[in-house]
Amino acid sequence: MGRELEAFKDKGEELKKEWHSLFGGYQEEGPSPVGRAPKGKRTPESEFRIPILESLVELGGRAPTKEVLKKVEEKMKGILTEIDYGRLPKSGQIRWVNTAKWCRKYLVQIGALKKDSPLGIWEITEKGREMLGL
């Protein structure tokens, strides 16, 4: 058993050397195996604040999540990156959608969106309108 294990280990080391000789330090662009986007490659959460607030105003002050996100995507078309459109490994959710939902949470915390809106509804507050200069 010891020789078989040693032979298996040697085979693994040889395959590793062969891999490095073929591909060297090459690493594909995109999320790392643990799901983190390369630094600076995804759109920061702060970039979603104004588009979310503007979208809500355009939708009459409140709207279902899906409608808000559709408007936000339209507004951010030129900003969202290929990384943003990738899927998160654990949830399968599109990265920018996840970031927008985290931004919503922040906007609720600072009082720009209502915290007691019905489930699945996003609603702007007076403070949110003030942030837009309205």
Picking from 134, 72, 130, the residue whose alpha carbon sits closest to that of residue 104 is 72
DSSP SS3 for 102: helix
The pLDDT tens digits of the residues spanning 54-105 come to: 999 999 999 999 999 999 999 999 999 999 999 998 888 999 999 999 999 9
Instruction: Supply the pTM of this predicted model.
Output: 0.71
pLDDT reported for residue 21:
55
- Strand ranges, E, within 14-130: 62-64, 121-123
Q: Domains in the chain, please, with CATH?
A: 42-134 (1.10.10.10)
Q: Which residues of 36-47 are buried (b: 16+ CB within 10 A; e: fewer)?
A: ebeeeebbebeb
Per-residue pLDDT, averaged over 7-20, amounts to: 67
Q: Assign residue 133 a region (left: φ > 0; alpha: ψ between -120 and 50; beta: otherwise).
A: left
User: pLDDT by residue (tens digit) across 35-52?
Assistant: 566 666 789 999 999 999
